[in-house]
Amino acid sequence: MAALPAACRHQARGERRRPSQDRGWRIERQRPRHRGRRAQRAQPRRRHPAPHDFWVKIAYQGEPGAYSDEAVAALFPGADAVGYATFRLTFEALAIGAVDSAVLPVENSSAGIVQEVSDLLWELPDLRVIREHVQPVKHCLLGWPGPVERALSHPQALAQCSRYLHSRQIKPVAFHDTAGAARAVAEQRQPGTAAIASKAAAARYGLYVLAESIQDDSENRTRFVVVEKGTP
């Protein structure tokens, strides 16, 4: 079991708090929705793997161009970033040693705790949180010129842009990943369908940026943690 940052404790009580920007942090436990096997309490230690270690593999949930992919690049420049379709697959890759560490979102200043990640951190044994990273998140509406009727994106991103979508009567459609939604829109070219993702995803998949900074909170931020297997 790896514990979550202190900010998640406020979210669990229904309070809204933006992730702090300071470098200091401490580990506190967040109660999940269901019971799971308990592991040793995580303890902070030196960052590992070191930055610029080009031979290390870092897992994240999503496809190239996802916000988690950007977080990996910020934390471990030059590392081999490996995307997985789901959070569970990301954790499993770490558990079997297919990757050295995983970078995972644990809470957002607008949408709150990423509950699935919180649950998996409690459920799976022998995990250690070794670092955290707060990243500004600016959502964009990506697609092709013309009226937009529906927007594909990860449920967290859709929640963070709910006011924008509601005011324009755009139907939110859940997708496994922000960058994956951008790729799907680029490949399918379906009229009236757009994606909510980053400007970097627009460049990667050749889409127009139809609107920028559409998130409800102008100071929208996501807190990521670096997780690795604990010492037996």
- pLDDT for 78 beyond 60: yes
Report pLDDT for 103. Answer: 98
At residue 147, the pLDDT reads 96
What CATH number belongs to 4-25+38-136+222-229?
A: 3.40.190.10
Confidence of residue 110 (pLDDT cuts 50, 70, 90): confident
pLDDT (mean) for 104-117: 92
What element of type H or E holds 186? helix 178-188
DSSP character string of 132-175: EEEEE---EEEE-SS---EEEE-HHHHHHTHHHHHHTTPEEEE-
- Percent of the residues in the chain that have a pLDDT greater than 70, as a whole number: 76
Q: What global pTM score does this model have?
A: 0.74
Catalytic site includes residue 86: no
Q: How far is it, in rounded angstroms, from Cα 118 to Cα 32? A: 6
Q: Write out pLDDT tens, residues 128-156.
A: 999 999 999 999 999 999 999 999 999 98
Question: CB 193: neighbour CB atoms within 10 A?
Answer: 19
- 169-202 pLDDT, tens digit each: 999 999 999 999 999 999 999 999 999 999 999 9
Q: Give the pLDDT confidence score for residue 124 in this predicted structure.
A: 86
Confidence at residue 191, expressed as pLDDT on a 0 to 100 scale: 94
* pLDDT confidence of residue 2: 54
Residue extents of the structural domains in the chain: 4-25+38-136+222-229, 140-211
Measured distance CA(157)–CA(26) in Å, rounded: 27
* Catalytic residue chosen out of the listed positions 87, 91, 175, 224: 224
**Mean pLDDT taken over the chain:** 82
Q: Report how far residue 22's alpha carbon sits from residue 118's, in angstroms, rounded to the nearest whole number.
A: 22
To the query of whether residue 175 is one of the catalytic residues in this protein, the response is no
Among the listed residues 90, 178, 193, 222, the single catalytic one is 222
Residue 125 has pLDDT above 60, yes or no: yes
CB atoms within 10 A of CB 12: 15
Radius of gyration, CA atoms only, the chain: 18
pLDDT per position as a tens digit, 34-68: 333 333 333 433 444 444 556 799 999 999 999 99
The CATH topology of domain 140-211 is D-Maltodextrin-Binding Protein; domain 2 (3.40.190)
| Predicted confidence band of residue 31 (pLDDT cuts 50, 70, 90) | very low
Q: How many CA within 13 A on the CB side of residue 221?
A: 15
Closest among 229, 223, 199 to 211, alpha carbons compared: 199
